[in-house]
Amino acid sequence: MASDVHPIVALDPTSHVVVVGAGLAGWRLVEALRRDGFTGRVTVIGDEPHHPYDRPPLSKQVLAGRMGAFDTGLARHDSPTDVDWRLGVAAVSLDVGSRTVGLADGTTITGTHVAIATGARARTITTSAGAQVHALRTRDDVVRLNDDVMGSSDQATVAVIGGGFIGAEVATSLRGRGLEVVVLEMLARPLVRVVGDDVSRWLEHLPGAVGVELRTSQTVLDVESAGSSLRVRLGGGDDVVASVVVAGVGAETNVDWLSGSGLTVDNGVVVDENLQAARGIAALGDVARFAWQGPVGPEVVRIEHWQVANDHATQLAHVWMTGTSAPTPLVPYFWSDQYGKKIQLLGHPNPHDEVVRVFADDAGRWLALYHRFGVVSGVVALSYPRGLMLAKPLLQVPTTIDRALERAPWTQ
């Protein structure tokens, strides 16, 4: 799917940038604009009551009890302070022609530029237990989950619905606190839809190695109250009774407020290769579906990675400050800490791409290359960060799999 290319409207000192979404992408954009010398007005609108904070630690250090939920703030001592904050109030509309954002409290803010950085929210499942089934997306979510875990007995069992990245990290953190954890995965293997068949098979032994029970091919029919516990009713009939139930079943973009705006919204806000959605309006981070020049060819993608939100912010600041496209191509990067290991992925491979494992050692570390049409489309590693970073040049310019195997940069 090709996206239209919109004109870039460059910033000047009289410009007013309105950032909608006080998360990672929105905040990094503010930092990048100020770093690049923008002296005009900046307003940040956020529906959460908090200043921007980091999400990756929520399912890792915070849930593991090694970091406080309120120690995750993104502001540093040298962060910009000349920002007009509108926190705890949602944007509810956007008039594209005038770049006017309507807020839930009835007020409006008009900018010369609007950056849409409203990210995503946790997908929820509808069950009889309602809000007793936890999700994990926000700081408030982790505080609630933590309170529930603390309130349950030492012998508590936690049922995690969904064995994807968030589910696996929740399982790891709570297992590390001594709880019995059962992961209920709908598919035959966790992550198969993301990393493909081979790689998911190489990962499937990880939960068991740290004492987490993984049950695959499970259909959750309902979660219902069972005295002071919850009963997860499964299609196969072998129900799980748990003190705490967490659903990690994916995310949905926060785009409802844009309905009627006229912007193209299709699994995210559709933007061009400069992240522009319309004249003076851009989208970035988890909410953006962007035109990307990948190593195998042009694609339109939406990628929910921490590093992509950062890179988008740097890119958009460059585009708006200079009126020109950013020079460096984006190489998506993702990591996940699960079951005592670190999974890292570079690029945006398709789960159906071919994969070849090019390194493995006795410590269980390995590295593999994805390829499509004979060109390297991704690099995935288990607890081998050095090899992964050495392999990054394979994605910075299109590289054939034959050439990659010949050069073997991960061995240097």
Ligand X SMILES: Cc1cc2nc3c(=O)[nH]c(=O)nc-3n(C[C@H](O)[C@H](O)[C@H](O)COP(=O)(O)OP(=O)(O)OC[C@H]3O[C@@H](n4cnc5c(N)ncnc54)[C@H](O)[C@@H]3O)c2cc1C
**Where along the sequence are the contacts to ligand X (CB under 6 A)?**
20-26, 45-48, 55-56, 58-59, 90-91, 117-120, 136-137, 166, 254, 257, 285-287, 304-307, 309, 334-336
Residue 73 tokens, joined: 């703030």
d(CA 67, CA 4): 44
Name the pairing type of β-strands 240-242 and 108-110. unpaired
Q: Which is nearer to ligand X, 342 or 407 (CB)?
A: 342
Q: How far is the CB of 301 from ligand X (least distance, A)?
A: 13
CB within 8 A of 377, min separation 6: which ones? 294, 295, 296, 347, 348, 349, 350, 353, 370, 371
The amino acid at residue 185 is E
Q: Which is nearer to ligand X, 395 or 401 (CB)?
A: 395
Q: Which is nearer to ligand X, 166 or 269 (CB)?
A: 166
Q: Which is nearer to ligand X, 30 or 375 (CB)?
A: 30
Q: How far is the CB of 360 from ligand X (least distance, A)?
A: 23
Q: How far is the CB of 14 from ligand X (least distance, A)?
A: 25
The helix/strand/coil state of 398 is coil
Q: How far is the CB of 331 from ligand X (least distance, A)?
A: 13
Q: How far is the CB of 403 from ligand X (least distance, A)?
A: 28
CB 100 within 8 Å of CB 108: yes
Nearest Cα to 204, choosing from 348, 343, 333, 334?
343
Q: Which is nearer to ligand X, 118 or 243 (CB)?
A: 118
In degrees rounded to 5, what are phi and psi of residue 181? Answer: -130, 130
Q: Which is nearer to ligand X, 48 or 95 (CB)?
A: 48
- Within 10 Å of residue 347's Cβ, how many Cβ atoms? 23
Q: How far is the CB of 96 from ligand X (least distance, A)?
A: 16
